[in-house]
Amino acid sequence: MEGKSEMIATWLKKHRLIYTGATRHPFILNIRDGSIDLSSFRRWLAQDYIFVRASVPFVASILLKAWKESDDSSDMDLILSGMAALNDEIAWFKSEASKWGVALHSVVPHKANLDYCRFLESVMSPDIEYAVAITAFWAIEAVYQESFAHCLEDGSRTPEELKETCQRWGNTGFGQFCRSLRNIANRHLEKASDDVLSKAEVILIRVLEHEVEFWNMCSGEI
């Protein structure tokens, strides 16, 4: 058993199956091997735009929790950089949607998306501790980073028109951001009570479950 300082590593070993399901989903593997149905990609583009917009108040709530609960001011700096990136991300989605002929104003959120957005809202509650919320934030970002980085590795046959998307989340800079989030989460989990640790582990599992459902939706499986 890992020490408390490596709680995330411990949980990833324990929940390896669902973590692999989220980061090596058939939707991602189909991008990587070049067999992706582009209608699935358009569905992802439309639905993820809605999710990213819902992420803005979520990340803002974590910034507020950091201000109240963190013992390190650099936490706020990192989370603030994540908020700034969301602004760029929303602009990118609008640009990509125009390129792919996706009318964002008429997109109806799928149930899997609505469920995930409601989950984000639940984590925004003042009753949710910073250690729990930052774990959720790390998990959400890490799934995308690991998934899209996989599509850029040697041997991948990712279509040229999707490489920019994969680079957006699979680049080394975003990887470093995710590692920094993980370090913050581990630091606070190390000092957390058993009750908070239990809540954080459950939140991590729920993020991974929602990610799998989101990919399923994009693949047209639900």
pLDDT in tens, 81-122: 999 999 999 999 999 999 999 999 999 999 999 999 999 999
Residues 222, 220: Cα–Cα separation, whole Å: 6
Residues involved in catalysis: 211
Nearest CA to 43 out of 165, 218, 216 is that of 218
DSSP 72: -
**Cα-Cα-Cα-Cα dihedral of 126, 179, 43, 33, to 10°?**
-160
How far, in Å, CA of 77 to CA of 79, rounded?
Answer: 6
* Residues in CB range of 46: below 8 A, 6 or more apart: 97, 102, 104, 107
pLDDT category, 220, cuts 50, 70, 90?
confident
Q: CA Rg, the chain, in Å?
A: 17
The number of beta carbons lying within 10 Å of the beta carbon of residue 137 is 24
Among residues 152, 154, 183, which one has the least CA distance to residue 168?
152
DSSP at 1: -
DSSP annotation string for 27-45:
HHHHHHTT---HHHHHHHH
Name the percent of the chain lying above pLDDT 70: 97
Q: 78 and 137 in contact (C-beta within 8 Å)?
A: no
pLDDT, one tens digit per residue, over 132-191 is 999 999 999 999 999 999 999 999 999 999 999 999 999 999 999 999 999 999 999 999
